Structure 1
Amino acid sequence: MHESIITGLQKLKIAVEYKPDLTPDELPEQLEGINILVVRSKVRIDQSLLMNADDLEIVCRAGAGIDNLDTDLLEEKGIEIINAPEGNRDAVAEHTLALMLSLLNYIPKSDIEVRKSIWDREGNRGFELKNRTIGLIGYGYMGRAVARKLQPFKPEILAYDKYLPKIDDDFAKKVTLEELQQNADVVSLHIPLTDETRNMVDDDFFNKFRNKILFINTARGEISNFKSLVNAFENKKVWGMGLDVLPVEKLDKLTSEEKDLFDKLTKMPNTLFTPHVAGWTFESYEKISEVIVEKIALVLNKN
């Protein structure tokens, strides 16, 4: 955690115990008498962890995604859930644009070729965002931030969000998933990982696109799977992918089948990978902590 979260909580007269080195096995016994718990993505909040947490009132996820929290259990126990998508939405949006622009302009390919003394201007002629139709799947904090940062480039922006009744800004046009699949030629995911979205991006998902797309995922890797990502290339449904997340991110733990598919994916043309860092900038590291403190203050004042 950024140090600002400690000073911020202390200003609220909250006693802070900062224990970043606790193992998952050690954590449950440390929760006796604790009122507020702040965790990052690696800590799974479930029944076994909460067995000694009778005094717990608030669980904070220092980041955006809450797929590591058993939200049903927490709600059943009356424990408030706080997350901080406001803290890293700009970081995610900028990273998303970086992946788009890099791939649309063949920058990874060009860089590799020039280092090999290959000077191929025609083979690396790029595309401008202004002439693209961008499809955003998910229009919460992240999707909206991407749409806002795309405005100077003037592309057409379509947004599909199953749980958003309407879009109350002028950045994007609300469409159905079917409309997005019929018209988009760049697609970017900004949805949480839930039981509903796990493996949502499968062969059927890709096959419904009319255009050959550029696919960007800075959301959660488990929304798709290695096989479908590879098939999308082999079936000519995508021409490029920018992936900040993978279906399995512990690369040393891949099964032999997953390893074969991952190796195949890395050899596909116009692919660009980053290690789940889209929302992890120096600035977002601090802003996430500030948002958590602000929201804790609001909950305490409400109570």
Structure 2
Amino acid sequence: MFTMVQLQQPVRPDQDTFTVLVSDHMSEDGLKPILESSLVSVIRESVDDTTFPLEQVDALLIRSATTVTEELLQKMPNLKIIGRAGVGVDNVDLPAATAHGVVVVNAPDGNTISTAEHTFAMLASLARNIPQANQSMREGKWDRKSYQGAELYGKTLGIVGFGRIGSELASRARAFKMNVVAFDPFLTQQRADKHHVDAVSFEKVLEQSDFITVHTPLTKETKGLLNKENLLKTKKGVFILNCARGGIIDEEALYEVIVEGHVRGAAIDVFAEEPAKNHPLSSLQQVITTPHIAASTSEAQKNVAEQVSKEVLDYLSGNPAPHALNLPYLDQDVYEKFSPFTKLTRTLGETASQLFREPVKHIEITYAGEISHQETGLFNRSLLAGFFRHRIDGYVNEVNATLIAKERDVKLSERHDSESHGYANFVKVIIHGESRTLTIHGTHSQEFGSRITQINEFQLDFKPAKHTLFVQHNDRPGVIGKVGQLLGTHDVNIATMQVGRKQEGGDAIMLLSTDKECQDSVLTAFTSIDEIASVKTIEL
């Protein structure tokens, strides 16, 4: 998280041309937008080898070979934008770029089709044992019986994670007359109907699918998502695919269930640790492995180069960069004015996202008090950035959060109210799902900082903390003591606690900040307390 808030301020050119340094090899066709533009002059040399003065470079285009560090940024004081021709930006120091006022953009959907096609190619090859049969022929054999396959027709494909790639894969599966079920926390019934898939729970995907493919970000929640316990919940004879992120599938567990005969086969393009030479899964006849090549097509490389070229050119022309991964520097006085409110709305977004694990259709935000007289666009963006932070594979901030919401059909609306409930500044957020809603209130004051003042109908006064437990329980004598004793037994220290209830003896909630994150074993232990209805962790 940045130490300052930044607003996007596009370049207003006051010079005839800009210099663009293309440091890595890129598709010639993809670079046409900048090569053919009279606005820029293009230098195609590595930053390490160029004889052109780095201090005169206005834009830098890279792939993965060039690493942008604080040291490099200091050598490029005139740099305005970095374009990464690809999805990830692991080779760019984002906080340093932000501190230097440099916008960083990438190409988030340039390889969507290539990845979807590679996944489907793996799917078909897996069903028909094509790589194995080909290898057999290379060895001079004619062994038809060993490679009897399975038809895709009428089979059920389970997609875990229904973003751009998941939806593209679904259309291809339907063309082969497959049934498609999908699980995604943001998948609404309306979007599922649009893509002709059945929106189901994760458990139903495991139970119903003949093929399961994952297309989620790698987060704390999805790491090891397909562990041995979940793999054993699948149909016997299921096929497993991962062309998304290494680590989503527990590779050791997958190896075991294949050897044991529960999983029939797997197709894996990504691994927890790469390069994955001599990986145990590659030794199994039932497994197809490829060296992270899902996005390696000439078309994808052209697309990502073209996308960042156009965006860099557009930005240098004075327009906003819609795929920016950070925000340009904001003057200190403006930062001091806006920072507390952006932090408040971001915190409310993060908290609401972790409490509401259902598909989301609409986020409604209401401002009252002094904050309602400010320009609230940045607050809305900050709320969305917080809400999507734990759900998206990649960097989410105030610039790209609105695009992410649009891609997932999440509507955002705002209201201004005269009723501030006695607070100088008041923010109310309502998350609308398909079957229920979540309401969370917050406020900020110079004296007390940011506070959460209400969750649904429960009033409280809680200062957001890095590690928080949200406990829903019955209001009975001794419950608080039981919770404290349980956490103490697991060596978890309670820093603060707030309790909210509607009436004596009814439903109630606790918010407890703890000195460390509570592991799954701690959450499981809460089932021993009869009065506890549910426990969730909130990590900020």
TM-score range, shorter chain: 0.7 to 0.9
Deviation at residue 237 of structure 1 after TM alignment? 4.1
- CA offsets 1:44-89 (integer angstroms, 9 cap, x no match): 5565664555554433331234455566766677654433243222
User: Where does residue 273 of structure 2 map in the other structure?
Assistant: 248
2:40 equivalent to 1:14: yes
2:325 equivalent to 1:302: no
Which stretch of the first structure deviates more once superposed, 99-108 or 136-145?
Answer: 136-145
- CA offsets 1:243-287 (integer angstroms, 9 cap, x no match): 2222222356xxxxxx5xx1x322212211222222111222212
Which stretch of the first structure deviates more once superposed, 10-19 or 70-79?
Answer: 70-79
User: Where does residue 209 of structure 2 map in the other structure?
Assistant: 184
| 1:285 aligned residue (292, 301, 305) | 301
Q: Confirm or deny: 8 A CA contact 1:183 1:211 kept in the other structure.
A: no
User: Where does residue 103 of structure 1 map in the other structure?
Assistant: 126
Q: Confirm or deny: 8 A CA contact 1:137 1:159 kept in the other structure.
A: yes
Deviation at residue 241 of structure 1 after TM alignment? 1.4
User: Where does residue 216 of structure 1 map in the other structure?
Assistant: 241
2:85 equivalent to 1:59: no
Deviation at residue 195 of structure 1 after TM alignment? 5.1
- How many residues align structurally? 290
The change in CA–CA distance for 1:98 and 1:163 in structure 2 (over 3 A counts) is same
| 1:207 aligned residue (227, 232, 240) | 232
User: Where does residue 86 of structure 1 map in the other structure?
Assistant: 109
Deviation at residue 115 of structure 1 after TM alignment? 4.1
Identity rate of aligned residues, in percent?
Answer: 28
The change in CA–CA distance for 1:141 and 1:37 in structure 2 (over 3 A counts) is farther
Higher strand fraction (1 or 2): 2
Cα distance in 1, alignment partners of residues 158 and 184 from structure 2: 11
Q: Name the SS of the counterpart of 1:302 in structure 2.
A: coil
Q: How does 1:133-144 map to 2 (within 5 A)?
A: 133-144=156-167
Q: Confirm or deny: 8 A CA contact 1:67 1:193 kept in the other structure.
A: no
Cα distance in 1, alignment partners of residues 97 and 188 from structure 2: 27
The change in CA–CA distance for 1:2 and 1:208 in structure 2 (over 3 A counts) is same
TM-score, scaled to structure 1:
0.78
Q: Confirm or deny: 8 A CA contact 2:167 2:195 kept in the other structure.
A: no
Deviation at residue 155 of structure 1 after TM alignment? 0.5
Q: Which amino acid aligns with 1:4?
A: D
Higher relative contact order (CA 8 A, sep 6+): 1
Higher helix fraction (1 or 2): 1
Cα distance in 1, alignment partners of residues 239 and 296 from structure 2: 23
Q: Confirm or deny: 8 A CA contact 1:201 1:224 kept in the other structure.
A: yes
User: Where does residue 28 of structure 2 map in the other structure?
Assistant: 3
| 2:283 aligned residue (232, 247, 267) | 267
User: Where does residue 230 of structure 1 map in the other structure?
Assistant: 255
Q: How does 1:18-37 map to 2 (within 5 A)?
A: 18-20=44-46, 22=47, 32=55, 34-37=57-60
Cα distance in 2, alignment partners of residues 212 and 68 from structure 1: 40
The change in CA–CA distance for 1:202 and 1:2 in structure 2 (over 3 A counts) is same
Cα distance in 1, alignment partners of residues 95 and 257 from structure 2: 35
Q: Which amino acid aligns with 2:174?
A: Q
The change in CA–CA distance for 1:228 and 1:128 in structure 2 (over 3 A counts) is same
Cα distance in 1, alignment partners of residues 240 and 294 from structure 2: 15
Point out where structure 1 has 5 or more consecutive residues left out of the alignment: 253-258
User: Where does residue 461 of structure 2 map in the other structure?
Assistant: none
Deviation at residue 120 of structure 1 after TM alignment? 3.8
User: Where does residue 256 of structure 1 map in the other structure?
Assistant: none
Which stretch of the first structure deviates more once superposed, 1-10 or 141-150?
Answer: 1-10
Q: Name the SS of the counterpart of 1:87 in structure 2.
A: coil
Q: Which amino acid aligns with 1:269?
A: Q
Which stretch of the first structure deviates more once superposed, 274-283 or 8-17?
Answer: 8-17
Q: Confirm or deny: 8 A CA contact 1:192 1:219 kept in the other structure.
A: yes
Q: Confirm or deny: 8 A CA contact 1:137 1:161 kept in the other structure.
A: yes
Cα distance in 2, alignment partners of residues 10 and 178 from structure 1: 51
Greater CA radius of gyration, 1 or 2? 2
Q: Name the SS of the counterpart of 1:60 in structure 2.
A: strand
TM-score, scaled to structure 2:
0.47
- CA offsets 1:105-144 (integer angstroms, 9 cap, x no match): 1112222334445444343222111222111222222212
Q: Name the SS of the counterpart of 2:307 in structure 1.
A: helix
Q: Name the SS of the counterpart of 2:109 in structure 1.
A: helix
Q: How does 1:145-156 map to 2 (within 5 A)?
A: 145-156=168-179
User: Where does residue 181 of structure 2 map in the other structure?
Assistant: 158
